[in-house]
């Protein structure tokens, strides 16, 4: 029963985080002139259109991933359509569209931080001795308080993961589209054209998977120590 509840909380946070990520992409694209995602119904916080577009990445894979990681983690994917001609013509606009998704995840991380500190202030939550992804904060009581502590813990951890992972400058991550924000248009376009060659996306995922833990662990530890100033977690 506890595992089922944990799985439900994980999936609720995953669905919220992924939906907001993709809706942010779609909304910024709409504001900057690409109506493709809007016309496909992706400019919404309703998860149903996003699930319909990627049922494998938003339903099956997260559940299987949760089981395969011994009920400790959940990950998947989603996507929104865009007009490649628009992206090629306006590379900076496309870069802002790409940046919108990770930014949404960062905002959800900040929301989790705020909720954690509110809970501590009202003596509902407390700082745990050890930190794991689903237990960034503890609850003094069981029931709803414990569920809330698990929810905000996963909200913090998962969105920090999504923020960092999606900023990898390799396809298919959003970071591979951010070069126009830092380089001139011609050089940025040459780099992105090279990264979009067939097979590069699979290589990018493999590289990100191999090196992510080494990159994320110090970031996560730094974030935890910022969350609880005055305490030192290792």
Helix (H, G, I), strand (E, B) or coil at 116: helix
Q: How confident is the model at residue 219, as a pLDDT?
A: 95
| DSSP for residue 179 | G
* pLDDT tens track for 58-85: 999 999 999 998 888 899 999 999 999 9
User: Which stretches of the chain drop beneath a pLDDT of 70?
Assistant: none
Q: How confident is the model at residue 234, as a pLDDT?
A: 73
* pLDDT tens track for 122-144: 999 999 998 989 999 999 999 99
The pair of structure tokens assigned to 119 is: 């809970």
Q: How confident is the model at residue 154, as a pLDDT?
A: 97
Tell me the backbone φ, ψ of residue 172, rounded to 5 degrees: -90, 15
- Cα-based distances in Å from 65 to 11, 68, 73, 74: 11, 5, 7, 6
Residues 108-131, buried b or exposed e (16+ Cβ, 10 A)? Answer: bbeebbebbeebeeeebbebbeeb
Are the CB atoms for 151 and 134 separated by under 8 Å?
no
Output the pTM of the full model: 0.94
Q: How confident is the model at residue 187, as a pLDDT?
A: 85
Q: How many helices (H) and strands (E) does the chain have?
A: 10, 2
Q: How confident is the model at residue 47, as a pLDDT?
A: 97
């Amino acid at each position: 029963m506890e595992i089922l509840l944990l799985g439900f909380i994980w999936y609720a946070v995953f669905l919220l985080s992924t939906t907001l990520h993709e809706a942010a992409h779609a909304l910024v694209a709409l504001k900057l002139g690409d109506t493709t995602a809007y016309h496909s119904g992706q400019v919404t916080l309703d998860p149903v259109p996003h699930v319909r577009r990627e049922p494998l990445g938003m339903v099956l894979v997260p559940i299987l991933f949760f089981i395969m990681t011994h009920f400790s983690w959940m990950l998947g994917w989603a996507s929104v359509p865009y007009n490649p001609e628009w992206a090629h013509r306006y590379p900076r606009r496309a870069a802002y569209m790409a940046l919108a998704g990770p930014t949404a995840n960062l905002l959800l991380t900040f929301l989790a931080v705020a909720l954690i500190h509110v809970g501590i202030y009202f003596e509902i939550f407390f700082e745990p001795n050890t930190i794991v992804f689903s237990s960034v904060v503890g609850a003094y009581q069981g029931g709803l308080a414990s569920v809330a502590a698990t929810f905000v813990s996963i909200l913090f951890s998962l969105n920090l993961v999504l923020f960092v992972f999606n900023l990898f400058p390799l396809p298919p991550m959003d970071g591979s589209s951010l070069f126009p924000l830092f380089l001139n248009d011609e050089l940025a376009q040459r780099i992105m054209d090279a990264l979009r060659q067939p097979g590069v996306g699979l290589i990018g995922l493999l590289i990100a998977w191999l090196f992510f833990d080494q990159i994320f662990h110090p970031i996560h530890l730094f974030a935890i120590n910022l969350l609880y100033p005055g305490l030192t977690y290792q």
